[in-house]
Chain A
Amino acid sequence: MLKDITLGQFFPGKSILHKADPRMKIILTLLYIVAVFMSSSIVSYIVTVAFTVILAVISRISVRVILKGLKPLLFIMLFTAFFNIFWTKGESEPLFAYGIIKIYKEGIIFAVLMIVRVACVLTGSSVILTYTTSPIALTDGLERLLSPLKKIKLPVHEFSMMMTIALRFIPTLIEETDKIMNAQKARGADFSSGGLIKRTKALLPVLIPLFASSFRRAGELATAMECRCYRGDKGRTRMTQLKYKPVDLLLLLIMVAYGAGVVLSNIYLGNLIVL
């Protein structure tokens, strides 16, 4: 049950996207998100959808996994689309009118484009970054990208170490929660029936042991790190040195081409298909 959370989960593989440098992938993701949000004409939307599909295909992440990642946000997408339909005013005659409720053609188009945009951003960014980058590589890349900020005394390394540890312990915590829930279920605990108060109370036998073991684990980890002489950033060397490879340049060029495509089609082909 708890293992179903896939958003932000790493799937090992051997695709181009898996091999690319994490720093480059973070940059690519930012470029990609900007480009998607700049899309404003039908043609640029088509380009965006096509590009996202291509990214998903070359990442070799299964369609099932991608759809499963979108599912938790389906509600939010439908919710915003719903409001867009009713709140957007158009210039032409409303398609449907009942009292103060008026639905315009623009509203529907806007709502659909909104869903497409959000779905693309989610799919694209998880395919470029989260599904294809291990959490360790991800925080490592982030630390390197932000390292210029160390000059103004921002504890970049400490933040990224905290993030690495947090990410590292998410699966452990999930597993632990699962284990404790099973142990309490074996003693007849019931998590799935009764009202809100009863259900919240039923979680106590899970939360208390979970907190207790989290504190224990934090203490043990701190001791283990001290034992290996961890003293923060200063003088720390790395086992894996990040290096840009030709693949990274290729991906960057492709991404720039896509961005340029979006901008150009906004400018020159914006009126090709009139909304």
Chain B
Amino acid sequence: MNALELKDITYTYSKKTPFESKALDGVNAFFEQGKVNGLIGHTGSGKSTLVQMMNGLLKPDIGQVVLLGKDIWEEPKKIRQIRFQCGLVFQYPEYQLFEETCEKDIAFGPKNMGLSEDEIRERVRSAAEFVGLDSTLLKKSPFELSGGQKRRVALAGVMAMEPSVLVLDEPAAGLDPIGRTEIFGGIRGYQRAKGNTVIIVSHSMEDVAEYCDNLTVLKNGRVLLSGSTGEVFRHEKELVSSGLGVPQITRFMRLLRERGVECADNIYTVEEALREVKRLLEERRGENA
């Protein structure tokens, strides 16, 4: 089943001015329920525009956005409810923090939903736990925290609404490797605990290979490829031509194969590669013995 379907979406910025530019041109995409879906594309391919379609911040010129089986623009007055069902974390979300304490900031979304005090407290606690923020940090002002911590507070602010579909635009942009693992670990923890759908926008092939079940590739406002992560990474040529590529380790394994090593061709993460290399070494040892 699909949690979110985009049907034939077209969108143009600054219509009828010299700055007119077509951002999306007939995008058809679907995002599977309960899975981690990746959305990848080169800068300017329309990812960020598409993301704002998903929760109704932008309205497509043509086309339909179907969330949990319902067209979100059926009742334009209830678009605010859609935003609670489809939570969106923007790029560099740390710049949206405003409250006196992190706790209050995370509570902003749930408060807008009109939840009870107890429910809000519970949600803030569990969201903070997913992203690994302890209670001393929660009492601090968000302006005192480090970049990575701020990012996690902002992420928790959207997670606390417990949206059926959680959309993240470049969640790890500009973070160090530890920050990346923490953020993605938090997202994965949330997804596993709630069984909700997650959509991650990224242009790091390593990240999507490690965390995403399915991938959709955008190029110049159109869908170039879509399918499971493994399927999509088989199209190395198309990916390279659209300014992307495959994970470095996948390329490495391909080069190994070209040199006559008989390793599998579906390796996308370093961990998988390690296992494969071990397997090969053991095989050889067996042959030699």
Is there contact, CB below 8 Å, between B55 and A188? no
Is there contact, CB below 8 Å, between B157 and A187? yes
Q: Decide: A180 near B80, CB < 8 A? Known: A11-B18, A187-B108, A205-B108.
A: no
B64 smallest CB distance to A (angstroms)? 20
Q: Decide: A187 near B57, CB < 8 A? Known: A3-B14, A209-B96.
A: no
Chain B residues with CB under 8 Å of A62's CB are: 16-17
Chain A residues with CB under 8 Å of B157's CB are: 187
CB<8 Å pairs between A and B, sample of 11:
A3-B14, A11-B17, A12-B18, A62-B16, A185-B57, A186-B89, A186-B90, A187-B112, A187-B158, A188-B161, A190-B112
Query: Which of B88, B112, B143, B158 is in CB contact (< 8 Å) with A189?
Result: B112
Q: List 7 tightest A-B contacts by C-beta distance, closest first.
A: A188-B112, A208-B98, A187-B109, A183-B96, A186-B88, A205-B98, A183-B90
A189 to B97, CA, bound (A): 13
Interface status of A213 (Cβ within 8 A of chain B): yes
The 8 A CB mask of A177-206 against B (1 = contact, 0 = none) is 001101111111110000000000000110
Q: Which of A64, A212, A213 has the most CB of B within 10 A?
A: A212
A109 to B161, CA, bound (A): 61
A59 to B88, CA, bound (A): 43
CB-based nearest A residue for B93: A183
Is there contact, CB below 8 Å, between B143 and A186? no
Q: Decide: A13 near B158, CB < 8 A? Known: A186-B88, A188-B113.
A: no
Report the interface size class on chain A. 20 to 34
Is there contact, CB below 8 Å, between B95 and A180? yes
- B residues in contact (CB < 8 Å) with A: 14, 16-18, 52, 55, 57, 80, 83-84, 87-90, 93, 95-98, 108-109, 112-113, 143, 157-158, 161
A183 to B16, CA, bound (A): 27
Q: Decide: A188 near B18, CB < 8 A? Known: A180-B95, A209-B96.
A: no
CB-based nearest A residue for B91: A179
Is there contact, CB below 8 Å, between B57 and A186? yes
A125 smallest CB distance to B (angstroms)? 20
Is there contact, CB below 8 Å, between B112 and A182? no
Is there contact, CB below 8 Å, between B98 and A188? no
Query: Which of B14, B55, B113 is in CB contact (< 8 Å) with A186?
Result: B55
A42 to B52, CA, bound (A): 54
A11 to B87, CA, bound (A): 37
Chain A residues with CB under 8 Å of B90's CB are: 179, 182-183, 186
Interface status of A254 (Cβ within 8 A of chain B): no
Interface status of A46 (Cβ within 8 A of chain B): no
Q: Which of B84, B90, B96 has the most CB of A within 10 A?
A: B96
A186 to B98, CA, bound (A): 15
A125 to B246, CA, bound (A): 55
A204 to B99, CA, bound (A): 9
CB-based nearest B residue for A65: B17
Interface class of chain A by DSSP: helix
A257 smallest CB distance to B (angstroms)? 31
CB-based nearest B residue for A12: B18
A62 to B157, CA, bound (A): 44
Is there contact, CB below 8 Å, between A187 and B161? yes
Is there contact, CB below 8 Å, between A64 and B16? yes
Query: Which of B84, B87, B95, B112 is in CB contact (< 8 Å) with A213?
Result: B95
A218 smallest CB distance to B (angstroms)? 15
A182 to B52, CA, bound (A): 9
CB-based nearest B residue for A61: B18
Is there contact, CB below 8 Å, between B95 and A188? no
Is there contact, CB below 8 Å, between A190 and B80? yes
A184 smallest CB distance to B (angstroms)? 6
A269 to B80, CA, bound (A): 63
Is there contact, CB below 8 Å, between B97 and A209? yes
A64 to B15, CA, bound (A): 12
Chain B residues with CB under 8 Å of A184's CB are: 96, 108
A209 to B94, CA, bound (A): 9
A127 to B113, CA, bound (A): 48
Chain B residues with CB under 8 Å of A188's CB are: 80, 83-84, 108-109, 112-113, 161
A172 to B13, CA, bound (A): 17
B69 smallest CB distance to A (angstroms)? 21
CB-based nearest A residue for B16: A64
Chain B residues with CB under 8 Å of A180's CB are: 95-96
A221 to B141, CA, bound (A): 25
Q: Decide: A186 near B158, CB < 8 A? Known: A3-B14, A209-B96.
A: yes
Q: Decide: A186 near B83, CB < 8 A? Known: A64-B16, A205-B108, A212-B143.
A: yes
Chain A residues with CB under 8 Å of B55's CB are: 186
- Given contacts A180-B96, A183-B96, A188-B112, 19 further A-B pairs with CB under 8 A are A11-B17, A62-B16, A62-B17, A65-B17, A182-B52, A182-B57, A185-B83, A186-B83, A186-B158, A187-B109, A187-B112, A188-B109, A189-B112, A190-B112, A205-B96, A205-B108, A209-B96, A209-B97, A209-B98
A183 to B87, CA, bound (A): 10
